[in-house]
Amino acid sequence: MAHQHIDTASGGAIKAWIEGVCIEDKARAQLENIASLPIVHGWVAAMPDVHLGKGATVGSVIPTLGAVIPAAVGVDIGCGMIARRTSLTANDLPDSLRGLRTAIEAAVPHGRTGSGRRGDRGAWGTVPEPNYKVWDANLRERFVTICEKHPKVQKSNHVVHLGTLGTGNHFIEVCLDQDDRVWVMLHSGSRGVGNRIGSYFIELAKKDMGVHLHDLPDRDLAYLTEGTRHFDDYVEAVGWAQDFARTNRALMMQAVLRAMHEIFGEFSSEEEAVNCHHNYVSYEHHYGEDVYVTRKGAVSAKKGELGIIPGSMGTRSYIVRGKGAAESFHSCSHGAGRVMSRTAARKRFTVADHIRQTEGVECRKDRDVIDEIPAAYKDIDAVMAAQEDLVEVVHTLKQVVCVKG
């Protein structure tokens, strides 16, 4: 399905894959603000899950020349998905999946429950030794270097959050594909340390712009320019946080598979998991220029590249292969996208609504997860139809177990 051109009063260009899906006026205005920035290379690409975000529009792809907007990357740096197919089939699953859900909940600290510490029960009370080894081998030294330059970043949860899920729309799911094969899929990011890095550099960008901050259509669009100290430090820190997030997902995947082995005994899983960010910045070449591409709620979809587009609780999710569409800057949506805020969902829907809409899924069915009810999200079928020229579907997944943060 072809994209649409959205005209803006400022002259900034937007190309949007939104046919058949809604886009609220505030999100459209936010896109126009971003597109008006002088650092944007060509246009901003809007994915079909596009909706209003903090700092920048969720579901947007922002190519910039010689600059990065920290608030566009956001505070959950490197948030993304990982999925892995197992040799188990639907026939291997018990009639009641409650035991599988509670085993996963016990294996991975999540939300504000778990083994926990005072004030953050979604963190490790005692960090598992394998997690410490991964931290020391892959992450600690670079983190120390970042903190030497910016001591305020040190005051964050890092190793105690490594291998933990978080809150909000982060989740772990057990799914069945079109061939009744069992998959494990989860969604999380860089946790407390990513939040600290993101928040810290967002404020630095505002200070660095000084008097020029008033020339921006939104203060949260303050950017750091290439060649300055804070730009280089941010690129270093954001790259580290993206590595933390990818490692975080991999450790959780290992923990979930171990818990499943305790229940099902021996089974195999594919060595190569699909592990992709959807809140991040990447240095890429597009339309004759080397640019910093910020995907705010968007997934890289280079030709032949695998990605994950999850639906909401109770709907389908997709493993996709990118088509390498140039005008989207080789990108696709990161999910269904919200149609209402969490507050609005809690006011509008009841526990009974949630139970009905998540029928057949072993998950929490209480008041605290109403904001994640499927009706709070766009129709995933419409979202997928709007981006047929961006990706092809490789596997269609339907969750049978969902652990929400």
Q: Which residues are catalytic?
A: 334
Contacts (Cβ under 8 Å, ≥6 apart) of 353: 370, 373, 375
Separate counts of helices (H) and strands (E) for the chain: 10, 17
Contacts (Cβ under 8 Å, ≥6 apart) of 247: 134, 138, 139, 162
Query: Taking a C-beta distance cutoff of 8 angstroms, is the pair 237, 195 a contact?
Result: no
Describe the crossing of helices 229-264 and 140-149 by its angle, rounded to 10 degrees. Answer: 150
Rounded to 10 degrees, the C-alpha dihedral 139/142/143/146 comes to -160
User: Token digits for 150?
Assistant: 């910016």
Beta strands 14-16 and 44-51: pairing type? parallel
Question: Cα(54)–Cα(70) distance, rounded to whole angstroms?
Answer: 11
User: Token digits for 205?
Assistant: 């960008």
Q: What sign does the CA torsion over 370, 375, 377, 381 have? A: positive
Range 63-93 burial, b when 16+ CB lie within 10 A, else e:
bbebbbbbbbbbbbbbbbbbbbbbebeeeeb
Q: Give 300's Cβ-side CA count (13 Å radius).
A: 20
Query: Taking a C-beta distance cutoff of 8 angstroms, is the pair 224, 67 a contact?
Result: yes
